[in-house]
Amino acid sequence: MSKTIQLLCFALLFQTAAFSKDYILRSPDKKITINISVGKNITWSVLKDQELLIKPSAMRMILKDGINPGIIPVVSKTISKAVNQTIVSVIPVRNKLIPEVYNELRLQMKGNYAIEFRAYNDGVAYRFVTNLGPQPIEVNDEKVAFNFHENCQIYLPKEDNAELQSHYEGDFKPSKLQEIPAEHYGYLPLYVATPAGTKMVITEADLHDYPNLFLYGTGTKTLTGRFPKVILEASPKPNSDRAEVIGRKANYHAKTTGNRTFPWRTIIITSSDKELLENEMVYKLARPNILANTDWIKPGKVAWDWWNDNNIYGVNFKSGINTETYKYYIDFASAYGLEYIILDEGWSKSTTDLLAPNPQLDIEGLVKYATTKNVGVILWALWKPLDQHMEAILDQYVKWGVKGVKVDFMARADQYMVNFYERAAQETAKRKLLLDLHGAYKPVGLNREYPNVINYEGVKGMENNKWEETITPVHNTTLPFTRMVAGPMDYTPGAMLNSNKDEFHVSMTSPMSRGTRAHQTSMYVLYDSPLQMLCDNPSNYLREPVYTHYIARFPTVWDKTIALEGKISEYAVVARKNGNNWYIGGMTNWDARGFDIPLTFLDGKKYKIEILQDGINVGKHAADYQIISKEVVAGEILHIDMAAGGGYAAILTPIG
């Protein structure tokens, strides 16, 4: 090689090295590392201990008028900080006190933007921050990529709607990264397991005035992000009061202010599945509560009408959507200490007029009656009519004395819909109304900023048993490690007609569940849901008062959650504390199994434990269960047995 060529090569290497600058950010426990490289673009890679999880993956934004944060970046300043504090949760979905411990690196760039990185002991996150002035900016695209080091196993709920419309009720089925072809996509959260056993869940948090992120396959070990475009024209689908046909769309996916923070792109990282049962990453990354008064926000259990088709019996009136039927629900709720009833679809004269009650219903009289029984009433509403006349509708609900609104069938995740969620949260909070979001995308932390956002659906839950056969114990033991990692989910448990593996049949009027009665019971401990349903027919519950009194004792919020056992699609066991009491819930897939649980989480007191477990004849009759009471102390070994498709629940109360 000539001396000239050698000098040229040296110069090129020198220029490359000079152009690229690397930064390292580690978690407080030093086990997780983010490597950030700033060259022609910005990339990050992520390691846990010595295992490479994410290879260099680029991040950038494409704005109108040639403003492109992340392209040819120049760092003007770095700001580091360490945070060690405690979040006090207003509505504690998993824990009342949430440790918030992380290290942060902010790269301030020339061009009036920054990128913030955080490293927690249980994950990592980054986001863009712009300071481009108060004038609107158009975001044409955002580059989001996850270049995995290995061909990992994933659970990505796949979608096929070209408009990115969905009710977000997909199946979480296992596959490998390289099996996801280009143009096939799924929504978040995404579960990932490396060959070495590290678990990751990818999602987003602090989503405001910006569309949801969807992940597309590439046929390789890389997933790339895309976003719904801004919808300029949409029309009602023929013969439908809720479905939309998307017409014209903009060439950008957000028009927003130039001074703002953008959503966190986060990777939750754990050594085992069971740690995901305790994770609070989305809540930690969300904006703090902004409501001055939250005393009026009351979580609780709900007697629900829609799943059981108002198919009550043993009464002297015709059941249906009428005042007599809902008084029956109220009496049932009052007798068992349930805080609410829901009047679902059908309570209004039409689904598009939310101010005119069904002629068979005396709403004002019903709410007054419920008030005398210490039961609150929540009303169902289609999102579009509510969006068009929100203030007038909510004002009327307040006049009626209603306690909350269940908003349904949004089925979109674009910028407008994200803003609808926040507007609904604001307007309901002003009026001291709870908000339950159905037909909804996954939680992104809005329930921390507005604690009156009491629950989300966005899950393939019990209702699907009315028309298909996909809700199995395998599905139920997958949800705690996938969808539920993002936040609370309105799965709506409580089926009283239970079936073993080959006994299930579809019914719209007398629906049933797959798995045992104890399997259903375990959901009242295992499934995060501050507004938790008793989905079945009150007549069925009233026929079994011992069982109904048992499930009615479970709280819906928790001071502390401890994961005991867990493996995706196989089993989950947790212990939770509320006040002085502890509760244990466990469920399994179609494999019978047992666990020995050391009661090390108890204090020095003696406890009465009331166990509900699969009965001896559960293999023939899935609703068979038995309740056992005894005394236990801290450190004692508790043996848990679960039948095929079974479950386990326990209530522990201190003695003396």
- Helix/strand/coil (H, E, C) string of 561-584? EEEEEEECCCEEEEEEEECCEEEE
* Cα torsion 614, 618, 623, 625: sign: negative
User: Which residue from 465, 464, 517, 471 is spatially nearest to 649, judged by alpha carbons?
Assistant: 517
Q: In degrees, to the nearest 5, what angle opens at C-alpha 101 toward C-alphas 95 and 102?
A: 135
Q: From the candidates 122, 142, 280, 408, which is the catalytic residue?
A: 408
Distances (CA, A) of 557 to 203, 530, 645: 23, 6, 26
* Alpha-carbon torsion (82, 86, 88, 94), positive or negative: positive
Going 467 to 473 to 474 to 479, the CA torsion angle's sign is positive
Instruction: Give the integer Cα–Cα distance in Å for 249 and 140.
Output: 12
Instruction: Quote the tokens at residue 228.
Output: 């719904």
What's the CA gap between 544 and 487, in Å, rounded?
A: 32
How many of the other CB atoms lie within 10 Å of CB of 259? 14
Q: 189 preceded by cis ω (within 30°)?
A: yes
Task: Tokens for 313, please give them.
Answer: 């019996």
Separation of alpha carbons 453 and 390, rounded Å? 16
Reference 36, options 120, 122, 126; nearest CA is 126
Angstrom distance (rounded) from CA 656 to CA 250: 66
By CB atoms closer than 10 A (0-12, 13-18, 19+), residue 637 is exposed
Amino acid at 62: I
Measured over all CA atoms, what is the biggest interatomic distance in the chain, rounded to whole angstroms? 103
Q: Residue 520: helix, strand or coil by DSSP? A: helix
Whole-angstrom distance, CA of residue 507 vs CA of residue 311: 12
Count of CB atoms situated within 10 Å of the CB of 468: 9
Query: Residue 25 corresponds to which tokens in the numbers above?
Result: 């950010």
- Active-site annotation holds for 408: yes
Kindly report the backbone phi and psi dihedral angles of residue 260, in degrees, each rounded to the nearest multiple of 5, phi listed first.
-170, 165
What is the Cα Rg of the chain in Å?
26
Q: Verify whether residue 565 is a known catalytic residue.
A: no
**From 449, 463, 490, 536, the catalytic residue:** 463
How many beta carbons lie within 10 A of that of residue 69, not counting itself? 24
Indicate which residues carry an active-site annotation. 408, 463
